Chains A and B, each alone.
Chain A
Amino acid sequence: MREGYAAVMPANAYNWVAVWRRNFLAWRKVALASVLGNLADPMTNLFGLGFGLGVIVGLIDGTSYIAFLAGGMVATSAMTAATFETMYAAFARMRAQRTWEAILCTQLTLGDIVLGELAWAATKSVLAGTAIALVAATMGYAAWASILYSIPAIAITGFVFASLAMIVVSLAPSYDYFVFYQTLVVTPMVFLCGAVFPVSQMPSAFQRVAGLLPLSHSVDLIRPLMLGLPAGGIGLHIGALCIYAVLPFFLSIALFRRRLMR
């Protein structure tokens, strides 16, 4: 049995690239629509909430509300981009489009496919997150150089949420089940993890829960970087995000093996 799981893990360090390039080619054909679709929602939130609520809220920790919100929106859009790419697009490639089935007939393994899908979802996170950071910088709400530093943090956020969504994909019988993950896990995280208001506003029990959630670690990494503030506990945040990326990755491969190779 252990041998069976070993055979489906990533075969080497580069096989996944072929899967990433397949997705990139497909994306290139619809790139414009895809970019606009990915950006519209976080931009609306950023400016709608930023300007609207900003007037009422005033300064938070010494910065304007919209500058505070920018870091949260970058992390949130990285989360949603990776989550949706994995839940809907990767699920379609696994099921209706039979893309995975075709790839499994080649020398790639299930692990290579999952890794390629995660890398692709993280790429889309970087596109979405960086675009918002660029807009924020253009408007003067973030330092230009900070964008460069925040890209790795955005990428790892993408890996984390793609990895978590992979578990949902490996278990979901159909698209209809994704809405539970979206409304019960993803959306509450936006409010619990300090993306739109400081975690310190919540009761301490909530704060402790928030400290365990992956989006908190992303926000706590990305926001100080964008605001040019010293960030505390970088090692802890990166470590927590790595655990959230790696464990679901292996778990989802094992679940996919049960689902697809029986």
Chain B
Amino acid sequence: MSTVAIDLSCVRKSYGDKIVVDGLSLAVASGECFGLLGPNGAGKSTIARMVLGMVAPDAGKMTVLGEPVPARARLARARIGVVPQFDNLELEFTVRENLLVFGRYFNMSAREVEAVVPALLEFARLESKADARVAELSGGMKRRLTLARALINDPHLLVMDEPTTGLDPHARHLIWERLRLLLARGKTILLTTHFMEEAERLCDRLCVLEAGRKIAEGEPRALIDEQIGCQVIEIYGGDPHELSSLIRPNARHIEVSGETLFCYAPDPEEVLVQLRGRAGLRLLQRPANLEDVFLRLTGREMES
């Protein structure tokens, strides 16, 4: 097995005049969790679909699990598990039938599927739901079944497009915990997300995308230290322009986004002292995160 699971080199894709992926190169090592991070429309899903051979690039070279894609994408997909952005389970089938039918798509016999179903149900915490119709499951359960289904062929690589979008926090944490377990078992994960928290918690490395271009790449902590490297004070209320001139001497950097002023300060106490006693201000001091990195790099917030 090669140590590079996914290798993209100068990949380009456009629809008409709209460039969706703009000369992107990246390499995902075997066994790591690699995140594609960016706002809606940044090209994340298109890249995930390209890796699966479902979108042909206009230019560039792609290799996935040692196979040239899209030419031999089918052979790569035999060793890939996919968690799509929108659930596409068989609603009228039971949980068990879903796994059986999906196993057949990988040429598994009924016996081979039955052999792995108990472990998959346990992994997805769906042991008691084996014979329930999927239409009766909650959103979190459906997502976990989608994850279990993606594992039916014991894939080396998992491609996950926004795996926790639309889930409540509890269900989301359960998925994250399951994904960490998979990483501990040596699986490689390509994850697209617009959740900074998700990326920070799961990804060994990530790449921040904007309009199909890579604007930063690295380990989450290293990116934060490199781009921000200090505490953040969020200031709500008041006139952002007046406030920013007031605190500028003590700020390394200031961003205004909507009604919020983000102050990146090596010594946050100095800033807080200056603002003390001003009416109508709400202040929040916190460590820097990937959201700040994105704001710093693009001048915009991710959720828009």
**Which residues of A approach B to under 8 Å, CB–CB?**
3-4, 6-7, 11, 14-15, 17-19, 21-22, 25-26, 29, 97-99, 101-109, 260-262
Within 8 A of A (CB), among B74-122: 74-75, 77-78, 80, 82, 84, 86-93, 97, 101-102, 104-107
User: Is there an interface contact between A107 and B86, defined as CB atoms closer than 8 Å?
Assistant: no
Q: How many residues of B contact A (CB 8 A)?
A: 33
Which residues of chain A have C-beta atoms less than 8 A from B201's C-beta?
A: none
A105 CB contact (under 8 Å) in B77, B90, B91, B104: B77
Within 8 A of A (CB), among B233-269: none
- What are the 6 closest A-B residue pairs judged by CB atoms, nearest first? A98-B88, A105-B82, A106-B105, A18-B104, A107-B78, A102-B88
B54 at interface, CB cutoff 8 A: yes
Report the minimum CB–CB distance from A36 to chain B (whole Å): 19
A108-B105 contact, Cβ under 8 Å, with A7-B74, A98-B86: yes
User: Is there an interface contact between A107 and B105, defined as CB atoms closer than 8 Å?
Assistant: yes
B208 at interface, CB cutoff 8 A: no
Binding stretch for chain A, among B2-10, B29-37, B65-73, B175-183: B65-73
- Residue of A with least CB distance to B100: A25
- Residue of B with least CB distance to A14: B107
User: Is there an interface contact between B104 and A97, defined as CB atoms closer than 8 Å?
Assistant: no
Which residues of chain A have C-beta atoms less than 8 A from B73's C-beta?
A: 7
- Residue of A with least CB distance to B52: A105
User: Is there an interface contact between A261 and B71, defined as CB atoms closer than 8 Å?
Assistant: no
User: Is there an interface contact between A21 and B102, defined as CB atoms closer than 8 Å?
Assistant: no
B275 at interface, CB cutoff 8 A: no
- Residue of A with least CB distance to B88: A98
For the complex, would chain B's binding face be called helix, strand, loop or mixed by DSSP majority? loop
What would be 24 A-B contacts, judged by CB atoms less than 8 Å apart? A3-B71, A4-B56, A7-B53, A7-B72, A14-B107, A22-B90, A22-B104, A25-B97, A98-B86, A99-B90, A101-B88, A103-B105, A104-B54, A105-B52, A105-B77, A105-B82, A106-B78, A106-B106, A107-B78, A107-B106, A107-B153, A108-B105, A260-B54, A262-B55
A15-B107 contact, Cβ under 8 Å, with A26-B92, A99-B88, A107-B75: yes
Which residues of chain B have C-beta atoms less than 8 A from A14's C-beta?
A: 107
- Residue of A with least CB distance to B146: A102
Within 8 A of A (CB), among B129-160: 153
Report the minimum CB–CB distance from A118 to chain B (whole Å): 17
A107-B74 contact, Cβ under 8 Å, with A18-B104, A21-B101: yes
User: Is there an interface contact between A101 and B101, defined as CB atoms closer than 8 Å?
Assistant: no
B105 CB contact (under 8 Å) in A4, A18, A97, A98: A18
Given contacts A4-B71, A98-B88, A105-B77, 16 further A-B contacts (CB under 8 A): A4-B56, A7-B72, A18-B107, A21-B104, A29-B92, A97-B88, A99-B88, A101-B88, A102-B102, A105-B80, A105-B84, A106-B78, A107-B105, A107-B153, A260-B54, A262-B15
Report the minimum CB–CB distance from A207 to chain B (whole Å): 47
Which residues of chain A have C-beta atoms less than 8 A from B92's C-beta?
A: 26, 29
Most buried by A among B80, B84, B107: B107
User: Is there an interface contact between B71 and A7, defined as CB atoms closer than 8 Å?
Assistant: yes
- Residue of B with least CB distance to A19: B105
Report the minimum CB–CB distance from B57 to chain A (whole Å): 10
- Cα A104 to Cα B84 with chains together (Å): 11
Report the minimum CB–CB distance from B138 to chain A (whole Å): 19
Report the minimum CB–CB distance from B123 to chain A (whole Å): 19
Residues 1-39 of B, flagged 1 when their CB comes within 8 A of A and 0 if not, give: 000000000000001000000000000000000000000
User: Is there an interface contact between A11 and B74, defined as CB atoms closer than 8 Å?
Assistant: yes
Which residues of chain B have C-beta atoms less than 8 A from A103's C-beta?
A: 105
User: Is there an interface contact between B84 and A101, defined as CB atoms closer than 8 Å?
Assistant: yes
Which residues of chain B have C-beta atoms less than 8 A from A15's C-beta?
A: 107
- Residue of A with least CB distance to B108: A18
User: Is there an interface contact between A109 and B104, defined as CB atoms closer than 8 Å?
Assistant: no
- Cα A97 to Cα B92 with chains together (Å): 11
- Cα A195 to Cα B97 with chains together (Å): 41
- Residue of B with least CB distance to A29: B92
- Cα A109 to Cα B101 with chains together (Å): 16
A109 CB contact (under 8 Å) in B56, B74, B86, B90: B74
User: Is there an interface contact between A22 and B84, defined as CB atoms closer than 8 Å?
Assistant: no
- Cα A107 to Cα B78 with chains together (Å): 5
A26-B107 contact, Cβ under 8 Å, with A98-B86, A98-B88, A262-B15: no
- Cα A212 to Cα B125 with chains together (Å): 59
- Residue of B with least CB distance to A26: B92
Which residues of chain B have C-beta atoms less than 8 A from A262's C-beta?
A: 15, 55
User: Is there an interface contact between B105 and A25, defined as CB atoms closer than 8 Å?
Assistant: no
User: Is there an interface contact between B101 and A25, defined as CB atoms closer than 8 Å?
Assistant: yes
User: Is there an interface contact between A261 and B74, defined as CB atoms closer than 8 Å?
Assistant: no
